[in-house]
Amino acid sequence: MARLAPAVDREVRDANARDASRRANAQLQLSEARFARLAESGIIGIVVADVAGNVLEANDAYLTMIGYSRDEVLSGAARCRT
C-alpha cells in the first residue's frame, strides 16, 4: 500500500508527458502541412539555404524566378547571396 501513491503519481506524470508529446506532435504536423501548402502553391518563391549560400531546397516558383532548374540549383550552379 505504501508503494501505491508513488506509483499513481508516476503514472499521472507519465500520462501528462504522453499527452503533451501528442499535442506537440499534432502541432508540428499542422505546421509542416501549412508550410508544404505554401511552398507548393507557386504563389511565392521559397528557398532554403545554409549560411554559405548553398541552396538546400527551393520550390518551383523560386526556380522560375531565377531561371535555373532544380538540378542546377541543388548542384551548386546557383547560390543565394548572403
The answer on 36 and 15 residing in a single domain is yes
82 and 46 within one domain: yes
The CA distances from residue 38 to 13, 44, 50, 66, 79, in Å, are 38, 8, 20, 19, 22
Are 24 and 54 in a shared domain? no
pTM here is 0.54
Number of Cα atoms under 13 Å in the Cβ half of residue 50: 5
> Domain limits at 20?
1-40
Number of compact structural domains in the chain: 2
Query: 63 and 53, same structural domain?
Result: yes
Q: What is the pLDDT of residues 9-53, one digit of tens each?
A: 999 999 999 999 999 999 999 999 988 887 788 788 888 889 988
Cα separations in angstroms, 18 against 15, 27, 30, 40, 57: 5, 14, 18, 33, 33
Q: Residue written as cell 504522453?
A: 18
Contact 48, 58 (CB under 8 A): yes
Q: What's residue 82's pLDDT?
A: 54
Task: Judge if 10 and 28 occupy the same domain.
Answer: yes
